Amino acid sequence: MTDKLIIFDTTLRDGEQSPGVTLNADEKVEIARQLTRLGVNIIEAGFPVASPGDFNAVQRIAREVGPLMEGRTGENRVNEPVTICGLARCVEKDIQTAYEAIKDAPRHRIHVFLATSDIHLEHKLKISREECKQRIREMVGFAKKLCADIEFSPEDGGRSDREFLVEALGVAIEAGATTLNIPDTVGYNTPQQYGDLIAYLRQHTPGSSTVVWSTHCHDDLGLATANTLAGVSNGARQVEVAINGIGERAGNTALEEIVMNIHTHASTYSVQHTVDTRMLFATSRMVADLSGMPVQPNKAIVGRNAFLHESGIHQDGVLKNKSTYEIIRPEDVGVTTDNLALGKHSGRHAFKSKLDALGYGAPALSDAQFQTAFSKFKHLADSKKSGVTDGDLHALIADVRSASLGAAPSTEVPADLAADPAAGGDPAAPRFTLRHMQVFTGVGITPTATVTLHDTKAARDLTDVALAQNGPIEAVYSAIQRICGLDIALLNFSVSATSEGQDTLGKVAVRIARATADADKDAAEPALTASGAEPKFSGLSTNVDIITASANAYLAALNRLVSHHAADIRAPHDVRNVNI
């Protein structure tokens, strides 16, 4: 019998702390759904006290995703609902708020943390070791009265004094902790040091055998995966990981790397997990698309190049026998290398089999999403003579999912966290759709865009024209803003090709927020930027024409923004003069 390894996913908490990543509640719920289907045991859904938006997202995940069993049943699967976890400092208000956010999930956990290293105690918390132990006793005890499943983390454990850690962790066990997680918060440890630390703590902490020991490693020195595996070799039975390794600074341990190491070296790590490895690539793409953090091409397991063989010698070897240069079968992580592009004669069955192989089998897509994907595919296959590649299909699915990411009903927020800027809006069909667009651009002229949107609420078409200094996309975006009567800050814009060749599709991802005028009174025109408190909305679209993709991606994000701010959006207008 091998031990169970608990996969604790922190993509939505530590992962969301990555510089530049801000996911809205809909996006977090969508990612959480995917994580349950993937088969993780615990989702750390956020830090509920951090903001009303965080609270709302964690509560929605607890309610909407906590009970789901889709994709979790069967042999070698989890066969129980996912545990939803909320993070809290060693402070009553944090713990109470975390509990309110997670309590509606059938399985829930509070994760309490307090730093234990002398550096943190002296300079950050300004408390003594005794005070630190006292707080752990009181706050873990407080959390235990609310919830049976309590995790405690000594922050900066990797640089804490071992003897003191043993004392502090002993106190946490006495107060009711059921999981002890040892963070190498700043990614300082070597694998030898971290493995030894886990072994030492397990051996010396009073009551050690009554708790699950857990790893939490950061990647500042590129050692997060190695350190986590060293922890597992020394008895840790929970790993804290994030998809694509996103997280604070250089990130966390990548879920896909841990799972595939265990898969590849089953006899070295005698633990079993319940992750469906065939969904890893699709999950990685979803997180990259929604978080706006692209995956580097040479990233292990999920990078675009992870299974490509460039040199003639390697290609020759792989053609003769794949095991010459492949230690992982690409299909085991949801990558197909058969290069079989689907064409316009491919039917529903071939399309479905391909989606299954790419990790989008039921229940990853609802019936309605599958139908939309199939008709989009048919459309694309008609226009793309060289065939629809896997890259195109990944983008097409991202498109379909992006379109169905609507604003959800807001849920109650504790009174002291009210004035919620990021709580959801009303569920709504897209408010604006693109009717016509004419773009005039070139060298030595000012780009101009004439755009007609259909306002589905008012059932009428609205047209505007805009000029731009910086190119045709800026002109299109200005025209759209003028029609909607909104000032929008464009926070992120990226365009990438979904495959190779001249008829590749362009995939455009944007992130926007309502703009607030900068207070620079001397400037001729106020600069429009997003304030940190403004909720952010993303949109994604794929098209053979990147200007059309850019317009549709912008509209997808804008429809979400409009639905969120429904109450205070000015009415759009018919036609306006062009300011030159």
The residue ranges that bind ligand KIV (CB under 6 A) are 14, 113, 153, 155, 183, 185, 216, 218
113 binds, among Zn ion, ligand KIV, none (CB under 5 to 8 A by kind): ligand KIV
- Is the CB of 153 or the CB of 410 nearer to ligand KIV? 153
- Inter-residue contact 238 to 273 (CB < 8 Å): no
Q: How far is the CB of 468 from Zn ion (least distance, A)?
A: 42
245 binds, among Zn ion, ligand KIV, none (CB under 5 to 8 A by kind): none
Q: How far is the CB of 561 from Zn ion (least distance, A)?
A: 31
Q: How far is the CB of 241 from Zn ion (least distance, A)?
A: 11
The site for Zn ion, by CB under 5 A, has a size of: 1
Instruction: Give the pairing of strands 460-467 and 488-497.
Output: unpaired
For every residue of 444-491, DSSP letters joined together read: SS--EEEEEEEETTTTEEEEEEEE-SS-HHHHHHHHHHHHHT--EEEE
- Is the CB of 14 or the CB of 392 nearer to Zn ion? 14
Task: Report the 10 Å Cβ neighbour count for 458.
Answer: 11
Q: How far is the CB of 12 from ligand KIV (least distance, A)?
A: 13
44 binds, among Zn ion, ligand KIV, none (CB under 5 to 8 A by kind): none
Residue of this chain nearest to ligand KIV (CB atom): 183
Q: How far is the CB of 216 from ligand KIV (least distance, A)?
A: 5
Q: How far is the CB of 530 from Zn ion (least distance, A)?
A: 26
Q: How far is the CB of 464 from Zn ion (least distance, A)?
A: 46
List strand residue ranges (DSSP E) for 27-106, in order. Answer: 42-46, 83-89
94 binds, among Zn ion, ligand KIV, none (CB under 5 to 8 A by kind): none
- Is the CB of 224 or the CB of 288 nearer to Zn ion? 224
Please identify, among the stretches 8-16, 67-75, 79-87, 436-444, the one whose residues bind Zn ion according to the rule CB under 5 A.
8-16
Q: How far is the CB of 48 from ligand KIV (least distance, A)?
A: 14
Q: Which residues contact 571 (CB under 8 A, 6 or more apart)?
A: 485
Exposure letters 97-128 (e unless 16+ CB within 10 A, then b): bbbbbbbbbebbbbbbbbbbbeebbeeebebe
Q: Which residues pair with 556 in a beta bridge?
A: none
Q: How far is Cα of residue 329 from the mean position of the Cα atoms in its chain? A: 25
Q: Confirm or reject binding of residue 156 to Zn ion (CB under 5 A).
A: no
Residue whose structure tokens are 């005890």: 141
- Is the CB of 14 or the CB of 392 nearer to ligand KIV? 14
Using CA atoms of 114, 119, 125, 131 in order, give the dihedral in degrees to the nearest 10. 70
Applying CB under 5 A, which of residues 8, 9, 13, 14 lies at the interface with Zn ion?
Answer: 14
285 binds, among ligand KIV, Zn ion, none (CB under 5 to 8 A by kind): none
Residue of this chain nearest to Zn ion (CB atom): 14
- The burial class, CB within 10 Å (0-12 / 13-18 / 19+), for 562 is buried
Q: Which amino acid is at 14?
A: D
Q: How far is the CB of 565 from ligand KIV (least distance, A)?
A: 32
* Alpha-carbon span 146 to 110, nearest angstrom: 9
- Is the CB of 220 or the CB of 331 nearer to ligand KIV? 220
* Alpha-carbon span 259 to 225, nearest angstrom: 10
- Is the CB of 143 or the CB of 380 nearer to ligand KIV? 143
Please identify, among the stretches 6-14, 36-44, 112-120, 515-523, the one whose residues bind Zn ion according to the rule CB under 5 A.
6-14
* Alpha-carbon span 185 to 143, nearest angstrom: 23
| Of 414, 453, 462, nearest in space to 432 by CA | 453
155 binds, among Zn ion, ligand KIV, none (CB under 5 to 8 A by kind): ligand KIV
Q: How far is the CB of 34 from Zn ion (least distance, A)?
A: 21
Please identify, among the stretches 7-15, 106-114, 132-140, 320-328, the one whose residues bind Zn ion according to the rule CB under 5 A.
7-15
Q: How far is Cα of residue 190 from the mean position of the Cα atoms in its chain? A: 28
- Inter-residue contact 330 to 307 (CB < 8 Å): yes
Binding site for Zn ion (CB under 5 A): 14
